[in-house]
Each structure stands twice: as C-alpha cells, then as structure tokens.
Amino acid sequence: MECGDSITNPICHECLKGEVIAWLADQSMKGDVSDEELERMNFFMASLIKRLDEEYPDSGIECIKCHQSILLCSYCFKRYIKDFFSAKGGDFPPLFLFTGNIKS
C-alpha cells in the first residue's frame, strides 16, 4: 500500500477504473467532458493499471466486487486521477468527489 492506511473501502483498481470510465462517459454524454478528454483518460487509466500491476505487491486483501487483490487504496487511486488532471492543466472534476475524499 502506498499511503500505509487501512483499507476501509476494499475495491480494487480495476473496479475503480471501471467506475471512473463510466462516470466520464456519462459526463461526456452530457457534454461536460470532451471525447478527447475521455480518450486521454482511457489511455491514462490503461497505463496506470499496468504500472500498478507491475509495481505493487499483492496486499492479500480481496476486492468486494470482483475478488481480485487490492494493490492501492481508493484514496491513493483517486489521487493519481487528480494528479492526471492537474498535470494536464485541468481542474479535478468536482462531481467526481462524490466517490470520497482525496488525501494529499
């Protein structure tokens, strides 16, 4: 685990990725996110998942949705997403905050 905190929301990075992509697709349909932004996020998510799979050891904690091993807590995962938006010069979408707080 990156932050060393306890896992209180045992959902794996793959399931969280699915939630982010579904949320962004919904925002895209509403016109709040461009197709280009959605494509960039899909590419980023694929490279993030690959990196997590390579760099983080199995935590021994199972995802409550798919039973895959959790490599990163949901807060750290969302921090990566926030950092992605910041690095691209954009703001973190405020509506995405509905999924929980982000630790700095």
pLDDT digits (tens, 9 = 90+) for 6-62: 788 888 888 888 887 887 788 777 777 777 877 887 888 888 888 888 887 777 889
Q: Helix and strand tally (H, E) in the chain?
A: 3, 0
Q: Indicate the DSSP class of residue 39.
A: H
Task: Give the model's pLDDT for residue 88.
Answer: 65
Phi and psi at residue 63, to the nearest 5°: -70, 135
pLDDT confidence tier of residue 89, bands split at 50, 70 and 90: low
Rounded Cα gap, residues 96 and 102, in angstroms: 11
